[in-house]
Amino acid sequence: MNAVQLTELAREGSAESSGELVTALTDLFLRAGEDERDRVSLIFGDVVLRVLDRLQVEARTGMSEKICVEAGAPKNLLKALAADEDIGVAKPVLERNRTLADDELAEVAGTVSGAHLSLICKRQGLKPVLTRVIAQRGDPAILCQMLGNAGAAIGADSFDLLVARARKDSDLQNALCERKDLPETAAERLVPFLSKEQAQRIREQNANPTLVKAIAERTKNEVEIQLREFQGAKSKTATLIDGAIDGSVPMDVAVGAFADKERAFDLGQLLARKVGWPENVVVPLVYREEEQPLFFLCRLSGVSDEAYVKIARMRGKRMRLSSAAASESSRKYAALSLEEAVASFKAMAKKLKLPVAPPGA
């Protein structure tokens, strides 16, 4: 098709003639060599954008399919196609084009439908400038889709927005929990929204250290507030012990709270409940000079090496032991295996005629 024919098609202005004009210009652009492609691209983009609103869906879709991966394709035209209200027109560009930068796609994302945003969420290597717009405009399903894209880089401000939007949405909360790059500040804001079941699952899986730490810190703070406000009231102490037994409060948090406040009796009660032995047997063992029984009771109860350091410190203060003695006690505890603890537990149980089945057996 020569220049005269192209001019006539442009003058006519009908949908049919515009379609023929665009087809001819598209073919001209695709056949252009490297030395003339930039010049042809300018003309191609300028003319097509003027008649784009006259083209039928089939014509727009065909053009989108042809130029979506072409180097040198006019960016303004690509952006217009990506933002086309017909998702079939936009799909080739949103899925396969790699020449539009994320800030250019962010302009598109600011105006398009959820179906368009869903396609954008599937792209690899999304940058913060783009994920910020999606965080602002996407519905919960789209936000979950974006969070599920491991290659999507999300800024701290966008994480804060996502956490705010997740306040009453468990699916969005779960999607946020899966992000290994969740900032500490966002994790701290997210934790209050989580159910006990969610928090427990996160602790057990231990797949997101930032979130596990935030849960532990919040639980610890809540326990400390309770103990301070109620000054060790029996009902609150019992609630804390119940929580450690049913798993809603981490064992280390409860142990740490009692040890830090030198509440040996409450610690003994907790260990007694955990192993199923009478309180009058277990409580005296907390300050008994012979450490071995306390060692295996703590090990069987799930007290970590770090938490036992607090118990050793508490014993050291009450029994006036040196810091070296407390450190040695902690070292011995760390060296005690679960198998050794089970064997010692059974031996002492038989001797005292107490239940011989260790916790969890």
Instruction: Choose the final residue of a domain: 174, 209, 229.
Output: 229
Pair (119, 217) in one structural domain: yes
Closest CA to 318 of 259, 255, 275: 259
16 pLDDT higher than 80: no
* Residue 48 belongs to some domain of the structure: yes
Higher pLDDT, 352 or 86: 86
* Residue 359 belongs to some domain of the structure: no
Higher pLDDT, 10 or 263: 263
Pair (39, 79) in one structural domain: yes
Q: What is the pLDDT of residue 1?
A: 46
Q: What is the pLDDT of residue 248?
A: 86
Q: What is the pLDDT of residue 358?
A: 67
**What average pLDDT does range 320-348 have in this prediction?**
93
Segment among 2-16, 54-68, 78-92, 227-241 with least mean pLDDT: 2-16
Distance in angstroms (rounded) separating the CA atoms of residues 358 and 361: 6
- The mean predicted confidence, pLDDT, of the chain is 87
Q: How confident is the model at residue 229 (pLDDT cuts 50, 70, 90)?
A: low
* Residue 361 belongs to some domain of the structure: no
Identify which of 114-123, 259-268, 281-290, 349-358 has the greatest average pLDDT.
Answer: 114-123
Pair (122, 60) in one structural domain: no
Pair (222, 251) in one structural domain: no
Structure tokens at 271: 């260990």
357 DSSP assignment? P
Count the domains in the chain.
Answer: 3
Label residues 120-136 b or e (16+ Cβ within 10 Å = b).
Answer: bbebeebbbbbbbbbbe
Segment among 43-57, 171-185, 307-321 with least mean pLDDT: 43-57
2 pLDDT higher than 60: no
Q: What is the pLDDT of residue 117?
A: 97
Q: What is the pLDDT of residue 113?
A: 96
Give the CA count within 13 Å in the CB-facing half-sphere of 261. Answer: 18
Q: What is the pLDDT of residue 286?
A: 93
24 pLDDT higher than 80: no
30 pLDDT higher than 90: no
Q: How confident is the model at residue 357 (pLDDT cuts 50, 70, 90)?
A: confident
Q: How confident is the model at residue 294 (pLDDT cuts 50, 70, 90)?
A: very high
Domain that holds residue 347: 232-352
Q: What is the pLDDT of residue 53?
A: 84
Residues 6+ apart with CB under 8 A from 97: 68, 69, 73, 78, 82
336 pLDDT higher than 90: yes
